[in-house]
């Protein structure tokens, strides 16, 4: 299935994720095109009865950025940001962070809260689409914000999206990262 820039933008508008538009300004269309061209798609495994967490950390629904950053830093999973997708009539994208290891999706937030996800979305997602955020970019953004990434184990301070900072840094845009201090809320 081809992912269109229009369907991504419409999902942002539907979810009222205006913070992305406020930060990107005139670069909004370029961001969506960059995302569409550089993202990777992973099928959501709906047969997850034997899923086990690698430790005693319990991912909370609504904290996908924190949860996925935790598994990146403490269990060496790749960190991705993008969307979870539902196909029911029109395709619907929901902003989401997740992990990948050995080309396999590892969505600890959803897998640990599967019944809540099913209730909230009405079904399980069909796939995830996202961009791998390089570890050096993650650390650079945290350092610029004055956040110690070791806090992911205990703090909500890292419940922030890194996709926009990655796009801005990757594109060589001039941007005061300190203005990007508030977390994106209402994601799962």
- The pTM score is 0.83
In a domain, 65, yes or no: yes
* pLDDT tens per residue across all 188 residues of the chain: 455 556 555 555 444 455 555 667 777 788 888 988 999 999 888 766 566 788 778 888 888 988 999 899 888 899 999 988 887 766 777 889 999 999 989 999 998 888 888 888 888 888 899 999 999 998 888 887 777 766 555 555 566 788 888 998 888 887 766 556 544 444 44
In a domain, 187, yes or no: no
Q: Which residues of 65-101 are buried (b: 16+ CB within 10 A; e: fewer)?
A: bbbbbbbbbeeebbbbbbbbbbeeeebbbbbbbbbbe
In a domain, 185, yes or no: no
In a domain, 18, yes or no: yes
Parent domain of 44:
5-179
**Crossing angle between the packed helical segments 135-145 and 163-171, to the nearest 10 degrees:** 100
In a domain, 186, yes or no: no
In a domain, 157, yes or no: yes
In a domain, 188, yes or no: no
Domain total in the chain = 1
In a domain, 12, yes or no: yes
Region at 164 (left for phi over 0; alpha for psi -120 to 50; beta for the rest)? alpha
């Amino acid at each position: 299935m081809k992912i269109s820039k229009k369907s991504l933008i419409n999902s942002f508008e539907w979810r009222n994720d205006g913070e992305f538009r406020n930060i990107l300004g005139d670069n909004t269309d370029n961001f969506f095109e960059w995302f569409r061209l550089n993202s990777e798609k992973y099928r959501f495994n709906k047969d997850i009865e034997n899923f086990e967490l690698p430790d005693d950390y319990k991912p909370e629904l609504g904290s996908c950025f924190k949860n996925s950053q935790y598994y990146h830093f403490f269990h060496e999973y790749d960190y991705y940001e993008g969307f979870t997708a539902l196909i029911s009539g029109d395709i619907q994208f929901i902003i989401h962070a997740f992990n990948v290891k050995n080309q396999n999706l590892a969505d600890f937030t959803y897998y640990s809260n599967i019944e809540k996800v099913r209730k909230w979305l009405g079904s399980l997602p069909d796939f995830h689409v996202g961009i791998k955020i390089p570890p050096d970019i993650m650390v650079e953004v945290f350092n610029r914000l004055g956040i110690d990434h070791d806090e992911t184990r205990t703090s909500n301070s890292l419940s922030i999206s890194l996709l926009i900072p990655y796009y801005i840094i990757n594109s060589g845009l001039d941007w005061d990262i300190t203005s990007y201090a508030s977390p994106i809320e209402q994601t799962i």
